[in-house]
Amino acid sequence: MPEVMLNGPEGRIECKYTQGLETGCPVAMILHPEPFQGGSMNNKITFSLYQEFKNRGFSVLRFNFRGVGRSQGHFDGGEGELSDAAAVLDWLQSQNLYSKYTFIAGFSFGSWIGMQLMMRRPEIEGFITISPPADKFDFSFLAPCPASGLIVHGKNNKRVPFENIQKIVDRLSIQKDVKIDLEFINEANHIFNTHHEELMSVVKKYLDDRLIDKIEI
């Protein structure tokens, strides 16, 4: 799991990267929660997502947003972090010129950044969104969704009511030929701290169902 330091909009961006073994393997980028809530690329869910894609042969990368760990800069409330994510995705794709497709996964704040990036980058063909923070951040940018994906939410998430998540799903589901899977985990809260295994079981099943043969979507 080599460490990579990239040049980003505000200076260095600290990353962890694993190159897939096959030429043309798909790529995935993992985005961590809000820094003020202890979010970093070493967050447990962020790391577990990274491992799931790695185990399936992806070239996969996770990184620290500006001001986190050894990444330079300061928290920017979303706009700067979106620029960071775009720069990292550019690098990831430059290392995988013959990749079949691109997948993105984010947890909480990372899911908000990831979904904004997906709307701007048509090459992103799949996503996983965990605990989208619709209570705090504006998701009105969601137009008909360009890609199918998975949203996972805890039924005991008192921070973000079910109705907020359903609105996100309704917006995303307008586009034809796009399937949005919404999974709820009983008694889980926003951070899944006592339901991590259940969360990852949902993610594993989703990936196993979508990734057929040589990872076709």
**Lowest mean per-residue pLDDT among 18-22, 36-40, 95-99, 200-204:** 36-40
pLDDT at residue 211 in the model = 82
pLDDT digits over 156-175, tens only? 999 998 889 998 998 888 88
Indicate the domain borders of the chain. 3-210
**Residue 178 pLDDT exceeds 70:** yes
CATH number of 3-210: 3.40.50.1820
CA distances from 86 to 59, 79, 108, 117, 136 (A): 17, 11, 18, 7, 22
pLDDT at residue 145 in the model = 84
pTM of the full structure:
0.94
**Residue 215 pLDDT exceeds 70:** no
What pLDDT band is residue 217 in, cutting at 50, 70 and 90? very low
Percent of all residues in the chain with a pLDDT value above 70, rounded to a whole number: 97
Here the tokens at position 18 are: 């694993």
pLDDT at residue 213 in the model = 42
What pLDDT band is residue 212 in, cutting at 50, 70 and 90? low
- The residue-averaged pLDDT of 42-49 equals 98
On whether the CB atoms of residues 154 and 123 are closer than 8 A, the answer is: no
pLDDT digits over 69-87, tens only? 999 999 999 999 999 999 9
What pLDDT band is residue 196 in, cutting at 50, 70 and 90? very high
- The residue-averaged pLDDT of 15-29 equals 96
The amino acid at residue 57 is: G
- Residues 90, 55: Cα–Cα separation, whole Å: 23
| Secondary structure class of 180 (helix, strand, coil) | strand
**Residue 91 pLDDT exceeds 60:** yes
- Compute the mean pLDDT over every residue in the chain, rounded to the nearest whole number: 93
Among 127, 103, 112, 104, smallest CA distance to 25 is for 103
